[in-house]
Chains A and B, each alone.
Chain A
Amino acid sequence: MTMTALDVIDEALRQPAIGRRRDLTSRLSRLRGRLADPAIRVVVVGGLKQGKSQLVNALLGTSVCPVHDDVASAAPAVIRHADQSWAAVVRPGQQRLEPVEIERVAEEISGGQVVRAEVGVPRAVLSGGLVIVDTPGVDGLRSEHTSRTLAELAEADAVLAVTDSLTELSPAELQFLRFATTICPNVLGVLTKTDMSPRWRSHLERNRMLIAEAGLAIPLVAVSSVLRERALRTSDQNVNAESGFPALVGYLENTVKAQAGLLARRSASEAILAVTEQVSLGLRAELSTQDPSSLAGLEDAQRAAELLRRQSSRWQNMLMDGMADLMSDVDHDLRERTRIILRHTDQAFDKADPAKTWDQFCDWLADKLTDAVLRNYDWTVERTHWLSQRIAEQFDEESRGTLPDLGLRDPARVLERMGGLLTPDLAPPGIANKVITGLRGSYSGMLMFGLLTSLMGMPLVNFVSVGAGAVMGAKTLKEERDAQLKRRQAVAKTAVQRHVDELVFQVGKHSRDALRQVQRRLREHFTEQAEQLQDALSDSIRRARDLANADLVARNQRNQSIAEEINTLVALRQRAQALAITS
């Protein structure tokens, strides 16, 4: 007999010993909710025009994704199971889903007035919570398409990396595959368009080799969406087999869904073990208060409660002080980094003419600032984790709980916000506009780029060590030294100074907000841990007191039922353990 994770959680929720503890039941119910809606996100990524959208359409037998010879998908489409087809879009600057007719959703996605589309269709492949996300694809490192795609990738449970079988993998594609595996370990490579590629088999072989040489473990399947669509139209099993899609569907069913089940069972198992452990502790404590030394048990419990109160003020102070330090350190770090950039800028504009070198300079500045912001960010994340570990150590092993996601980790969201950081007014107008256009085009993209490279274990941005002067030195005109030049140089320096000030201010504000949020999250987490301990203790204290007053018969009855409860809990724990092992 196999029990699902949900079955075991439901059984746990039926236990009276657990039912008495509101904090624990709410924890299990939350988990149950997450598991009952087990969205398994399969994100389809790859370069432009590799056949991503048609792959999704052919897989599902729909036409919700825009397919075109020219660039078509401007926004991600999130497709999940529904008994009745529906579609909705999110417009720029809005949160709300706006319903649209399903026939029009492809048009909406390619129209550019949509940030994302959500679609429900009645398809068996999507049962069990499979969600397919068609993305605009990656194109270079600075494009809007790329950042929208990476944002989806960050949430992926599995990735379909699409490239066509007309050519072999390019170095850039290979690098992207490597990057994708660092974000999500479940990556399947899909070679498309086999129907029109005379050499798809040799490209498949060659790509397998390239992937193996790169030290990656990415299985490949080769498909033709055109054949699959024809097979669906004509219900022709042979053509379906020729399309290669059975292997893709098999991967989704047998690997993606199966592993998602395992993950779900693991987290259910862990949660139930933790909950039963706590409850059993309480019950055992109660049993021990039944014997003549029960008063001693009561005293123990009371002492523990007092200790807890003292501990609690200790971790709260640590959190407050630690966060205050962290905020000022992070701010200082960013200032130090940008000061160096400004010094380089001044040196460069002592010699160079901004009128001639401005574009190169803008690129250089964007790169340097991006690098500074990124390193600052990395460092912040590191410090935050360190701090939360120190606080966790204030609790004993059992009661510190699993540290929550600190929320500083999701790069996409942070970076998106970074994109809008730019200061709108930098005098004088001529140059100011250029600063803004020069930088606006590249910020979020560069941040992504930095992340990409740092995640791939490459040096952040390889021009990091290059000064502005070296970049622009090429165009330095030593002989030109008139007043006009001096003025231009001064204007440029101030413009940059002002821009950097604004950036430091904005980033500073951003990281302070982010850190405050982390602080809140940590406080909530540790408060909850402390309250659980407190609840457990007061529960047993109350029971011990009650029992001390009850008569012996009642006491024996209670003892009996406690023993039974403990036994059922033991059985429950065994089932929970089994959950994690069954495959």
Chain B
Amino acid sequence: MITQELLTEDTRAMLEWALRLYRGSAKATNFLTQQRQLFEEPLRVGVTGRPKAGKSTLLDALDEDDFIEGHTSDVDAVLHLTGPVRAEDRSALQGNPIPVNTIVVLARADELGGGRVDAMSSAKMIARRLRAEPELGQLCQDVVAVAGLLAVAGRTLTDAEFDALVALAALPREELDELLLSTDRFMNPALEDVVLRQGLLECLGLFGIRLCTTLVRRGYGDPSRLAAELVQRSGLNDLRLSIRRHFTERAPVLKARSALVAVETVLRAEPRPEARGLHAEVERIQVTTQDFRELRLLAALQTGRIELPSEIATEAEQLLGLSGTSPANRLGSDDGADLLHIAMAVLDRWQAYASNPVWRRAQTTAAKTVVHTCEAIIDTLTRP
């Protein structure tokens, strides 16, 4: 990211300033020292949601080191797990002072769709609707439906389990349908293999078993193909992509965000007159950081809250860093090309958009943000 290094430097300097200013307060010094250390560490993502939301299962599926269950302090970004999005979820998200670091996950998504075979596509449609909802869109970067249980099963499917699924799929259709009508029927103690079936139910859920037997019947005849299909259908890949786009690629910005929030906390908890300058600096970084604006706009474009003609929108997303944040990535060209020349042309075009009288206000404001991005690209390219 062009301005990311600058931002990181500014943030580090801001932390040092705060440490000097609060030398006299042991509590503040402690807190800030810890924050300075956290700032240098890798991005930490917290996984939140009510009990039994599926946090542990999802963490299992993601298998990432720096993801923490339950914590919201000391993390840079948040996966918020929920079923149907409730008022309590919205209010949980509302306290975020700089809301550019949250992905809402519709967890246990198979249950959201009543456990029917088409449950996941239904859950994905709900995610899409929520993503475009203006109110929720302002509180998070993305909404993704995931069945964590299915994803874990896909990653850990054993040969014995696979064989059991194949045996089930081989039953006469009616018999299988009757068996899969309910968990009680599936666990009918009068039948053989109850223990094996218990194991299947625990690791796949009724939906997972319905899906697997359907897939096996459709010809997913070997364990690794079935496993990959399960992971794909679970929505885990969508979530990974979203995490990469919104968190990993923006890591320095999210780190800066955490530091800014932390310093603001101290300024608020222990206000003092000589902190005036630091205060102004915190505000300056927030307001002038193009990254924060880019993140918000990117989310708005991707979720459809702001609409631009489709080709223009695609260009905007690329310029804003959707497929990479180097100047070449942003301009969609090879490194060899005359980037500066291209960047100038792009800037001209976007300046025209920004003053297009036909566009609505939200659209011209968006164009202005892209103009700043273009200017920053040119700035990077012309720096010695």
Q: Which residues of A contact B (CB under 8 A)?
A: 47-49, 69-71, 139-143, 166-168, 170, 172, 193-198, 200, 224, 226-227, 230, 239, 242, 474-479
Contacts and interface: CB of A to CB of B under 8 A. Distances in A.
Given A70-B126, A139-B87, A196 B114 contact: yes
14 contacts: A49-B112, A70-B129, A140-B86, A142-B87, A166-B108, A170-B50, A170-B51, A194-B183, A194-B184, A195-B182, A196-B115, A198-B202, A198-B205, A226-B114
A291 B112 CA distance: 84
Contact of B183 (A47, A49, A195, A475): A195
A48 B50 contact: no
Given A69-B122, A70-B126, A198-B183, A139 B114 contact: no
A141 B207 contact: no
A215 B206 CA distance: 35
A194 B187 CA distance: 13
Interface string B194-229: 000000011001110000000000000000000000
Nearest to B53: A167
B271 interface: yes
Interface in B53-102: 83-84, 86-88, 90-91
B20 interface: no
B58 to A, nearest CB: 15
- Which of A70, A170, A197, A476: most chain B CB closer than 10 A? A70
A242 B129 contact: no
Nearest to B50: A170
Contacts of A476: 271
A48 B207 contact: no
B65 to A, nearest CB: 29
Contacts of A143: 87
- Which of B86, B122, B273: most chain A CB closer than 10 A? B86
Interface in B120-153: 122-123, 125-126, 129
B181 A195 contact: yes
B307 interface: no
Given A478-B273, A479-B276, A166 B111 contact: yes
Interface in B263-290: 268, 271, 273, 276, 279
Nearest to A168: B52
B324 interface: no
Contacts of B332: none
B122 A474 contact: no
Given A167-B52, A226-B114, A478 B271 contact: yes
A268 B295 CA distance: 69
B83 to A, nearest CB: 7
Interface of B: 50-52, 83-84, 86-88, 90-91, 108, 111-115, 119, 122-123, 125-126, 129, 181-185, 187, 201-202, 205-207, 268, 271, 273, 276, 279
Contact of B123 (A69, A71, A200, A474): A69
Given A195-B184, A226-B182, 12 more contacts: A49-B83, A69-B119, A70-B129, A71-B84, A140-B87, A140-B88, A170-B50, A170-B51, A196-B114, A198-B183, A198-B187, A474-B268
B84 A196 contact: no
B44 to A, nearest CB: 25
B340 to A, nearest CB: 41
A374 B104 CA distance: 36
B113 A69 contact: yes
B182 A194 contact: yes
Nearest to A145: B87
A453 to B, nearest CB: 16
A170 B185 CA distance: 28
Contacts of A71: 84
Query: Looking at chain A's contact residues, is the secondary structure mostly helix, strand, loop, or mixed?
Result: loop
- Which of A47, A49, A476: most chain B CB closer than 10 A? A49
Contact of B182 (A47, A141, A196): A196
Nearest to B108: A166
A477 B278 CA distance: 13
- Which of A49, A195, A196, A197: most chain B CB closer than 10 A? A196
A357 to B, nearest CB: 12
Contacts of A196: 111, 114-115, 182-183, 205-207
Nearest to B184: A242
B126 A198 contact: no
B206 A198 contact: yes
Nearest to B276: A479
B86 A227 contact: no
A476 B202 CA distance: 53
A69 B126 CA distance: 8
Nearest to A359: B94
Nearest to A70: B126
Contacts of A172: 88
A140 B91 contact: yes
Nearest to B123: A69
B149 to A, nearest CB: 11
Contacts of A167: 51-52
Q: Which 8 pairs, one residue from A and one from B, show the smallest C-beta to C-beta distance? A: A140-B87, A195-B182, A196-B115, A49-B84, A69-B122, A198-B183, A48-B84, A70-B126
A180 to B, nearest CB: 18
Nearest to B268: A474
A546 B321 CA distance: 105
A130 B183 CA distance: 33
Contacts of A200: 183
A143 B91 CA distance: 12
A488 B369 CA distance: 29
Contacts of B184: 194-195, 242
Nearest to A50: B84
Nearest to A68: B122
Contacts of A477: 279
A44 to B, nearest CB: 17
Contacts of B183: 194-198, 200
Contacts of A478: 271, 273
A341 B86 CA distance: 31
B361 to A, nearest CB: 15
A479 to B, nearest CB: 5
Given A195-B182, A198-B201, A139 B276 contact: no
Contacts of A230: 181
Contacts of B205: 196, 198
A69 B114 contact: yes
A166 B115 CA distance: 11
B115 to A, nearest CB: 4
A142 B87 CA distance: 8
A330 to B, nearest CB: 32
B324 to A, nearest CB: 34
Contacts of A70: 84, 122, 125-126, 129
A475 B50 CA distance: 30
B97 to A, nearest CB: 10
Contacts of A242: 182, 184-185
B273 A479 contact: yes
- Which of B87, B111, B126: most chain A CB closer than 10 A? B87
